[in-house]
Amino acid sequence: MQFSLWLTFFAASWAISLSPGPGAVAAMGAGVNHGFARGYWLTLGLVLGIVTQLTIVGVGVGALMAASAMAFAVVKWLGVAYLLWLGLQQWRAPVRTLQAIDGERRLVARRALVLRGWGLNAVNPKGTAFMLAVVPQFIDPARPLALQYAVIGATLVFTDLVVMAGYTALASRVLAVLKSPRQVRAMNRLFGSLFVVAAALLAAFKRA
């Protein structure tokens, strides 16, 4: 990949990461509920999901999804169900004050946060559609494909790590103002509703 072409993809990667979506909502929710140090583990899952999507496209499964309406629909509705489940979990989260959150955040398994982040990005046909539509434009068939996919993957991972760190850190600052159970309940329901909105948007998504 030529350097000028990579710079174009690098700029596109920032636009993709900064755009609001389920990943950003999840990162902010993790920051609010667990603080930055613990909540940032969810971002590791998000980037593993990106790598999964890129691998799917790289080995040709993405092309199968694009050609098969059934395969696309299965993945799509799995993603919708997962987002709805996350929204319900967040909506029904127990109301805890700042002190309780500080005392309990260490109990949340890092692995659970990683798996949640991975599920958000891996079971997302919009991600596959993006990879199929955008990534091939930056691939030179005359050059080694594995190296080009590695560069693209590293670029996407880097930008997502930085952007989601910002989302998680920004949301973790909200912990300082969660003084009452009412405020905590309102925050939980806000993020729960955002997951439901993300599910609705995914349900309405159609292949080009």
Domain residues of the chain, as ranges?
23-204
- Determine the Cα–Cα distance for residues 194 and 208; give it in Å rounded to an integer: 25
Q: From CA 12, how far away is CA 6, in angstroms rounded?
A: 10
Q: Residue 199: its pLDDT value, please?
A: 75
Cβ atoms of 121 and 157 closer than 8 Å: no
Per-residue confidence (pLDDT) for residue 99, from 0 to 100? 46
What count of Cα atoms within 13 Å lies in the side-chain half-sphere of residue 199? Answer: 18
Residue 79's pLDDT is 67
pTM summary value: 0.69
What pLDDT score does 208 carry?
Answer: 54
Helices (H), 59-144: 61-67, 69-91, 98-104, 110-122, 125-134
Would you state the pLDDT for residue 81?
A: 81
Q: Which residues contact 23 (CB under 8 A, 6 or more apart)?
A: 46, 117, 120, 121, 160, 164
Query: What pLDDT shows up at residue 179?
Result: 58
What confidence score (pLDDT) does residue 18 get? 77
Q: For the chain (length 208 residues), average pLDDT per consecutive 10?
A: 80 76 83 85 93 82 61 72 76 59 58 90 72 71 80 92 91 69 74 76 68
